Chain A
């Protein structure tokens, strides 16, 4: 319990620091948002009025505290460019990003686990070598290369799934799955490569351990040794990696969204950057940092559940 409280307080500090950094970095973006909103033909008077209205003439510290107060009360402000509430913009797009990340990770695990278990049970045999070559291949191809290839094969040639577009799951689940299939697969392939190689080498090493040999001497079959004895221990590093993986995936997802034209957080933030929409950038980036920090905290806490030895040390 003490351990969890400690981790949660670290989480709060991380989010706070991240919000300051987010604030500073985006103010380093050159250009005045008021000019961006009003366009190049705006009179200096109009620009000055809008600057005051947006609170941009206040000191950066004041701007930050106004923003952070509003942030925790749920008021993210209004987008300069469209005038829409930032809250609404995020609410419209987060489901798609969440679906993409969760879907791709579930898919990656579903492929990685059986393959790495099979490979680890008979290491350095044909299956093992074949799958490791394949996963290294996927690992070395970036998503923006894999995506067009997949689009070409499955959307253009075979026409099974649409090349782009998005229909929410509440409207049509079938169409939603079809829309999300390619983006999820694209992201999943990279993650699958990482997970399967980590899990495979972890299992191979664990199977060499004394306790695995002792389990064998009890008459337990190799697959049972893997699932009953090694899996929980190997999940420690798998959880660590997936925590790191999901952090990088959030940004990876933004690229995918752009390729498949999905109206997610990525598209939102890219548009916001283009129009210097500070409040949107700030809200999305702090939310992403919070998500990443939360995931890492969950990873830390999950160690204690997975390994009883860590529980004692803390």
Chain B
């Protein structure tokens, strides 16, 4: 069995995002959906992007392959995907990228699959663009892929329309469409949100096994930290368009530095906690993207807020004390040992 990130050399990067900003021209003015995001992930790893609705995670992941309609869009910064400079690609080159390198899965398979097109044609479409094969051969390949994604009776289901399948099967069909072009990068935009809890796990297991089998790099967008913890090697936490924490999943979820990440974790219901344990929620909602706070964007909702947070915007900084990269954007990170030192030095600075 092929292993993920551990065997891969650190300089073999799948994706390097540098200072990426995405803004939409709207009637109310420029809306910055993604603001100066930078991160790097190695080949064959699984990255989870988490955040509330409207945090910019979907825009970010769609921008990674330039899928958004670009008439009212402004992209700044650079995206390096397997050595390809995605931001510089022309339309035709972009199609080549879709045909051979990158694929995406959407949240709701009912709207993402064409309702009036048979399943087999929708899969064959990706296949046809990727490889030159004869018709009969392609027919067999479609059946093979359906079998691979765990569709029972693939011969029969291939002739179905999407509405004739169950929700889980539809999501499997969408995955089949996406992997038919054997992509090296697969982006899954909340692939389990529209599904029953019982099916969610099956789909995640399928994604994980396909990722290992094809040595794909997988980017999973989710607002479910449980899902991220289950499948991801890295996690990126987004808040109001900013990347606020990034690192190995175990580091970030076990020891979150950024109060927002901690707040997200506190919001998770857990079966192991006693019933008397009160479920937390983050008070208020995300700031209006047209009138963002001057300082840290999470400051108005943060329980650890200090005066500096309101006036100054924290940059993403790396925690040098650890061997693994663990970045966070916070002046007063929650650190069991280091935090006190940081806190005093920060306050000292403010006093002088």
Contact = CB atoms under 8 A, between A and B. Distances in A.
Interface stretch (A72-80, A206-214, A266-274): A206-214
Nearest to A306: B116
A233 B116 contact: yes
Contacts of A229: 114, 117
Interface string B92-135: 00011111101110101001111111000000011001000000
A251 B112 CA distance: 43
Interface pairs A-B: 5 shortest CB-CB:
A219-B98, A219-B99, A210-B111, A210-B112, A214-B112
Nearest to A221: B95
Given A308-B161, A309-B161, A218 B98 contact: yes
Nearest to B69: A208
A298 interface: no
A307 B115 CA distance: 8
Interface in A274-314: 306-309, 312
Given A214-B174, A218-B181, A232 B67 contact: no
B116 A216 contact: no
Contacts of A216: 67, 98
Nearest to B126: A218
B116 A214 contact: no
A218 B177 contact: yes
Given A218-B103, A233-B114, A309-B161, 14 more contacts: A213-B112, A214-B177, A217-B178, A219-B98, A219-B99, A219-B126, A220-B129, A228-B125, A229-B117, A307-B116, A308-B161, A309-B115, A309-B163, A312-B164
B106 A219 contact: no
Contacts of A233: 114-116
A303 B340 CA distance: 70
B96 A219 contact: yes
Interface string B166-182: 00000000100110010
B65 interface: yes
Nearest to B94: A219
Interface of B: 65, 67, 69, 71, 95-100, 102-104, 106, 108, 111-117, 125-126, 129, 161, 163-164, 174, 177-178, 181
Contact of A211 (B103, B113, B163): B113
| Residue from the set B97, B114, B126 with the largest chain A CB neighbour count within 10 Å | B114
A308 B177 contact: no
A177 interface: no
Given A210-B108, A229-B117, A308-B161, A217 B67 contact: yes
Contacts of B69: 208
B129 A214 contact: no
Given A219-B96, A306-B116, A307-B115, A210 B106 contact: yes
Contacts of B177: 214, 218
Nearest to B102: A217
Contact of A215 (B65, B102, B125): B125
A210 B189 CA distance: 12
A217 B114 contact: no
B113 A214 contact: yes
18 contacts: A210-B108, A211-B113, A213-B106, A214-B113, A217-B98, A217-B178, A218-B98, A218-B103, A218-B129, A218-B177, A219-B96, A220-B125, A229-B117, A233-B114, A307-B116, A308-B116, A309-B115, A309-B116
